[in-house]
Structure 1
Amino acid sequence: MPLFEELGRETTPMGEISLRRRWHPGLEVELHEVRLDEEFLMSSLFTVAEEELAHLGLAAAEGDALDVVVGGLGLGCTAAAALQDARVGSLTVVDALGAVIDWHRDGLLPLSAALTDDARCRLVEGDVFALVADGVLGPETPWPCDAFLLDVDHTPRNVLHPSHAPFYEADGLARMAGLLRPGGVFALWSDDPPDEAFLATLDEVLPGPEAHVVAFPNPATGGESANTVYVARRPPG
């Protein structure tokens, strides 16, 4: 097995994105990593919080045959975890970078088959923030939905592109909430500890949001790391 192999690279409006596979001799594991320019976006070494985004979000959802939207495909961890819930009737995964979708369609990642072979799942190239802002309802769009799981930016304040920032303000969140069915759930991954100011803004739109701290072992440091998953629900009726 090669110690390092680049599986894909493409120039995008947000920078140069690349997928690589490497062997970590110290941990004796094969890793898949995505970088945007020189910045790490994700690693298969740390997937607990991305999976918990699906688990916590869908735990708050009610009903069967749920229509779920995932913003951000990445390594596919959130989408694959969502598909493990038998109540999910349809899953639309929106990613702005066509290269990421192509990696999965070409079977380059461990979870690719779990997504592409599941008839409930469709991968859509597009800007999920623009989809929210447009708020178009119809057969060609994912709205309305029962759960919207978002993992694109590092945090509500540390965004990958300036155009994403308005989403995390009250007006942007209100547009998003209008695309949830009554009782629908919004869940958000963040790399930072709970942000009380963001929670207060979210509470203006979807009362009673919760911030779940998701801790997980960090084999790279021998210690523990943590992310945050925000969960909010549109009142039923």
Structure 2
Amino acid sequence: MPLRFEELDFQPTPMGEISLRRRYDPAAEVDVYEVRLGDEYLMSSLFTVAERELATLALGRSEAPEGASLDVLVGGLGLGYTALAALEDPRVGEVTVVEYSGPVLDWHRRALLPDAAGLATDPRCRFVQGDFFARVRQEPERRHDLILLDIDHSPRHVLHPSHAAFYDAAGLRAMARHLTDAGVFALWSDDPPDAAFEAELDRAFADHSSHPVDFANPITGGRSSNTVYVARGVL
């Protein structure tokens, strides 16, 4: 019989105690990997559709031709599904993942997450420990063809108060300096499309769209939804 519950790692961080847990879900008949930060539930391997769509939808808006070598910046490593989806596109030459939490990077390097096996050793993928939001406030050292962000729960529900300023037009324009002229920005959100945030995107980008991503929820037996925002054409 599969082990019902196991805490694989538990470490203190400046933002609170972070833990990685594995449990067997009898309804889905799979091992589920879950991450918590303090009392906050962050992510689960049961729900990965929108994390993958974050990369897929953004790459779908890229006008890069076959044979291109796209440079992708990912904010937030998590369980690795966004980075993995980006690397599946043959046009992607390099993925740089900026992750604040050392323990999360350590889980991947120790191969504790079977679905992301090989991500840490993929020669096209580079892990950087750091603050994504501080990085994009600085002058860019290089520009990226895509920036994919999945750190906060949503533009209105942030993990730390210092993140909030990123989601207004000034913060978005500062980030957009790190994009190439034809670059694409995409953001994952746990909430439905947010008209107030869409108005900020209007002030920062010439073109943007909001994509509700629907998926099966084996816990409720129904459907759930996240949102992916995709923007391009810096104003």
- TM-score of the two chains, using structure 2 as the length reference: 0.95
1:122 matched to 2:122? The reply is no
Secondary structure at the counterpart of residue 174 of structure 2: helix
Q: Give distance in 2, aligned partners of 1:135 and 1:158.
A: 27
**92, 96, 102: which one aligns with 1:92:** 96
Secondary structure at the counterpart of residue 137 of structure 2: helix
- TM-score of the two chains, using structure 1 as the length reference: 0.95
Q: Give distance in 1, aligned partners of 2:223 and 2:76.
A: 25
Secondary structure at the counterpart of residue 107 of structure 1: coil
Task: State the one-letter code of the partner of 1:192.
Answer: D
Q: Write the mapping of 1:33-72 to structure 2, written as runs, cut at 5 A.
A: 33-63=34-64, 64-72=68-76
Instruction: Return the offset for 1:235.
Output: 5.5
Residue aligning to 1:153: 152
1:74 matched to 2:78? The reply is yes
Q: Return 5+ residue gaps in structure 2 as ranges.
A: none
Residue aligning to 1:18: 19
1:205 matched to 2:209? The reply is no
Q: Give distance in 2, aligned partners of 1:135 and 1:51.
A: 29
Q: Write the mapping of 1:149-228 to structure 2, written as runs, cut at 5 A.
A: 149-228=148-227
Residue aligning to 1:8: 9
* CA deviation map 1:157-200 (0-9, x unaligned): 10000111111111110101111000100000000110111111
* CA deviation map 1:28-76 (0-9, x unaligned): 1110000011221000000000000000011111221000000000000
1:132 matched to 2:136? The reply is yes
Secondary structure at the counterpart of residue 128 of structure 2: strand
Q: Give distance in 2, aligned partners of 1:66 and 1:235.
A: 18
Contact 2:204-2:234 at 8 Å conserved across structures:
no
Q: Which runs of structure 1 show a deviation greater than 3 angstroms over 4 or more consecutive aligned residues?
A: none
Contact 2:211-2:228 at 8 Å conserved across structures:
yes
Q: Percent identity?
A: 60
Contact 1:146-1:183 at 8 Å conserved across structures:
yes
The size of the alignment, in residue pairs, is 231
Q: Give distance in 2, aligned partners of 1:231 and 1:164.
A: 19
* CA deviation map 1:180-227 (0-9, x unaligned): 000100000000110111111111111121000100011111110000
